[in-house]
Structure 1
Amino acid sequence: MEIRASTVLPARREPIELVTADGLTLVGELALPADRPPAATLVCLHPLPTHGGMMDSHVLKKAANRLPALADLAVLRFNTRGTTSDRGTSQGAFGNGEDERLDVAAALEYAEFHDLPRAWLVGWSFGTELALKWGRDPLVEGAILLSPPLHRATDADLDGWAEFGRPLTALVPEFDDYLRPAEARERFARVPQAEVVGVDGAKHLWVGEPYVRIVLNEIVRRVNPAAHPLPTEIPES
């Protein structure tokens, strides 16, 4: 059976709540491999909520739908403060990327408290800004950035990540609306351990199953290389 955009593979999926240091409750979901412990954990940071970004933004939801089964990964998704999805609405109000530092911390604390192994941040657009600004936590093994605009994240944040020393991969669409591969390579040159991967033909929103497959494969290549490349078909059940 071919894996399609709508494919949902078996996993243990449970609604979760995160509590921030300023007392807000954030709604989310944790997806785990169905019958074995995870090899690593993706902590997903979604696109800009004022422009429709949420935990169900399609690449992140497809990661949760597929990667527990195909790559033994735990996938933790949540709505940042004031954000709504089918899971519900997180308390609080949009903080323009500043107050959300407490949301990132709450997600990492959840992962640590629940013994989720080898946490990697996966940020998309606005979520990449949160990863760069607030993700330099000892628990974090690395970060993968999808369509980083580098608007809120400054050169000082890039320098901070360089000092942090953990792996950093930026997947940059050829036709991105904000930052394209050539400029991205210049900006990320401040981070010696950063890798910029230009994706031919892609746009900021990664629309289309071929681009989703590229993103998920690049994530798995770095987080659990034993599961790379991902299959495009699975046996009929």
Structure 2
Amino acid sequence: MVAEIRASTVLPARREDIELHTADGLTLVGEIALPEDRPPAATLVCLHPLPTHGGMMDSHVLRKASYRLPALADLAVLRFNTRGTTSDRGTSEGSFGHGEDERFDVAAALEYAEFHDLPRPWLVGWSFGTELALKWGRDPLVEGAILLSPPLHRATDADLDAWAEFGRPLVALVPEHDDYLRPDEARTRFARVPQVEVVGVEGAKHLWVGEPYVRIVLDEIVKRVNPAAGPLPTEV
């Protein structure tokens, strides 16, 4: 029987609650979702939106990535709550660090990926999560980063210059109607990173509400991380 993939669709995967341990002594809660019956081709390390404005590991695009991409694209999807953040999975220890102390959280997620032999980690940051990726994601393990709705608020030109020197791929998906940074300005700001690709998404807003926009985001992720699996099907 063929069924359309809908906003609430959860496809088969091996899902496990995990804990991350930071260098400054905190325990963070998270989940890893893996392809059901084969090893992953690559890994998404997800960095969620601003927790003081409701961002968490279950923010909808990241949750839908974990629901779909292990089955559809052979990807491992690692999601976690940064310090002081709460979701259905629980609350991570510590308190919001304004994007600075979260450097330890990003490092803990990458250490988890390395220790568990999760292949080819890519950072997927959304809004506040893009700032964490740009500031703290320049780790030799990281193959590249995909930024959803980057505000370039906490991340500075110095961070962009450092990513340019880092040399790894950088993809920015920028909504046409974003509240903070729109495509033309994003192209100007990111121009200092030679290897960047800025993708303007017509009709989209900062929160990527609506199944058509979620599909665009997931397709763009897969196109970079495991292109052999794209474009993603709309039915299963």
TM range, smaller chain:
over 0.9
Give secondary structure in 2 for the equivalent of 1:156.
helix
Question: For 1:172 and 1:26, how far apart are their aligned partners in 2?
Answer: 29
Runs of 5+ unmatched residues, structure 2: none
1:62-108 deviation line (CA, Å, top 9, x unaligned): 00000000000000000000000000000000000000000000000
How far apart in 1 are the matches of 2:197 and 2:189? Answer: 11
Cα shift at 1:159: 0.1
Alignment of 1:3-42 (within 5 A): 3-42=5-44
Residue 153 of structure 2 aligns to a residue whose secondary structure is: coil
| Structure 1 residue 21: Cα displacement | 0.1
Q: Show structure 1 runs of 5+ residues with no match.
A: none
Q: Which runs of 4+ in 1 moved over 6 A?
A: none
3-state secondary structure, aligned to 1:140: coil
- Given candidates 97, 105, 108, the residue that maps to 1:106 is 108
| Structure 2 residue matching 1:50: 3-state secondary structure | helix
Residue 156 of structure 1 corresponds to which residue in structure 2?
158
TM-score (norm 2): 0.99
Residues of 1 paired with 2:162 and 2:228: CA distance? 30
CA shift digits 1:162-187 (9 cap, x unpaired): 00000000000000000000000000
CA deviation string 1:31-90 (max 9, x = no partner): 000000000000000000000000000000000000000000000000000000000000
2:124 and 2:101 map into 1 onto residues whose CA distance is 19
Task: Provide the C-alpha distance between the structure 1 equivalents of 2:30 and 2:65, rounded to a whole number of angstroms.
Answer: 14
- Give the superposed CA RMSD: 0.1
Deviation, structure 1 residue 124? 0.0
Task: Give, in whole Å, the separation in 2 of the partners of 1:47 and 1:199.
Answer: 19
Cα deviation, 1:194-213, whole Å, max 9, x if unaligned, reads: 00000000000000000000
1:76 aligned partner: 78
Please give the alpha-carbon distance, in whole angstroms, between the structure 2 residues aligned to 1:191 and 1:106.
26
1:24 offset after TM fit, Å? 0.1
Residues in 2 aligned to 1:195 and 1:117: alpha-carbon distance in whole angstroms:
23
Cα deviations by residue, 1:5-43 (Å, 9 ceiling, x for unpaired): 000000000000000000100000000000000000000
Provide the rounded CA distance (Å) in 2 between the counterparts of 1:120 and 1:195: 15
Give, in whole Å, the separation in 1 of the partners of 2:40 and 2:100. 31
Q: Kindly state the Cα deviation for residue 146 of structure 1 after the two structures are TM-superposed.
A: 0.1
| Deviation of 1:139 (Å) | 0.2
> 2:21 & 2:110 partners in 1: Cα distance?
11
Q: Distance in 2 between matches of 1:42 and 1:20?
A: 19
In 2: Cα distance, 1:180 partner to 1:155 partner: 17
Structure 1 residue 118: deviation in Å? 0.1
CA distance in 2, matches of 1:47, 1:170: 15
Give the TM-score, by structure 1 length.
0.98
Find the residue that maps to 2:36 and give its secondary structure: coil
Shift of 1:125: 0.1
Partner SS state of residue 184, structure 2: helix
